[in-house]
A and B are shown apart, each in its own frame.
Chain A
Amino acid sequence: MINIMLSAALVLFGVAILISLYRIIIGPSLPDRVIALDMIGVHLVSAIAIISVLFHTTAFLEVILILAILSFISTIAFSKYIERGVIIERKHDS
C-alpha cells in the first residue's frame, strides 16, 4: 500500500516537472525560465527523497543537500546575470 502511494507521488512529481519544462520551453522571458529551473530543482529534491524511501537506503541523503545547494547557487548566479549583466565583479562600485 505504501509503495503504491510513494509511486503515485513519484508520478505526480514527474507531471510537475513536465509542467515546469513546458514553462521553460515556451516561457516568454528569461526570469520565467529561471524560476521554472529552480522549481525543477525543488521537485528533483523531493523525488530523490521519495526514491530513497522506496529503496530503503540512506545513501542518497547527501545528494539532496548538494542538489539544494547547487540549485540555490545557480539561481543566484542567473539572477545576478539578469540584474547586473555580470556574475562575478572585479570591484564593487559602491
Chain B
Amino acid sequence: MKINNVILKTVTKVVIYIILTLAVYLFLAGHNSPGGGFIGGLVLSTAFVLLFIVYDIETIQKALPFDFKKVAALGAFLAVGTGFGSFVFDVPFLTQAFGYFNLPFFGEVELTTVTIFELGVALVVVGVVVTIILSISEDV
C-alpha cells in the first residue's frame, strides 16, 4: 500500500528549523543560563531523529553525508584537544582561559575556550545518539 504522508513531511520541513535554532541557542546559552553542550547535542540529535523517522535512512544519508561514528570521534578529539592545548602555555591539564574581544557586529563579547570543549561534548552526544538509533533500526 502506498502511503502519501504529505502533511507530516510539510510540517517537518518547517519544524526542523525551529528545532535546529533551539539547539544552537541552547548550546550558546550554556555559559550564563540553562543549556550547554549536552542538552544542545541532545536537541540536535532529536532533529536528526525526526528527519530519519519522517523520511527514510537512505534519503537522509544522501542529504547529510556524515559518518556519525566519525562525528563522535571528532568530538572526543576536540574535548581532549582543549585539555592538551593547555600544555602549550605551561599550565595544568584542562585549564581554560577567557578574554573579551571586540567583534564587528556583536560588540564586546566574552570568548572562552570552554566553548570548544562544549562543542566536543555536543558532537559526541550527537554521534552517539544517532548511531544508537540507526543501529537499532537496522533489523527490519
- Contacts from A to B (Cβ < 8 Å): 59, 62-63, 65-66, 69-70, 72-73, 76-77, 80, 83-84, 86-94
Contacts and interface: CB of A to CB of B under 8 A. Distances in A.
B65 to A, nearest CB: 17
Contacts of B53: 73, 76-77, 80, 87-88
A63 B42 CA distance: 13
B133 interface: yes
B49 interface: yes
Interface stretch (B56-64, B99-107, B113-121): B56-64
Contact-residue size bin, chain B (C-beta under 8 Å from the other chain): 20 to 34
Contact of A76 (B2, B33, B34, B50): B50
B33 A59 contact: yes
A12 B52 CA distance: 37
Nearest to A89: B56
A91 B29 CA distance: 38
B3 interface: yes
A66 B53 CA distance: 18
B55 A92 contact: yes
Contact of B19 (A69, A76, A88, A93): A69
Contacts of B55: 92
Interface of B: 2-4, 8, 15, 19, 22, 26, 29, 33-35, 39, 43, 46, 49-50, 52-59, 133-134, 137, 140
A81 to B, nearest CB: 10
* Secondary structure of the A contact surface, majority rule: helix
B29 to A, nearest CB: 8
Q: Which of A66, A70, A86 is most buried by chain B, counting CB atoms within 10 A of its CB?
A: A66
12 contacts: A59-B33, A70-B46, A76-B54, A80-B53, A86-B140, A88-B134, A89-B56, A90-B56, A91-B56, A91-B57, A91-B58, A94-B4
Given A59-B33, A86-B140, A69 B43 contact: yes
A88 B46 contact: no
Given A59-B33, A86-B140, A94-B2, A66 B57 contact: no
Contacts of B140: 86, 89-90
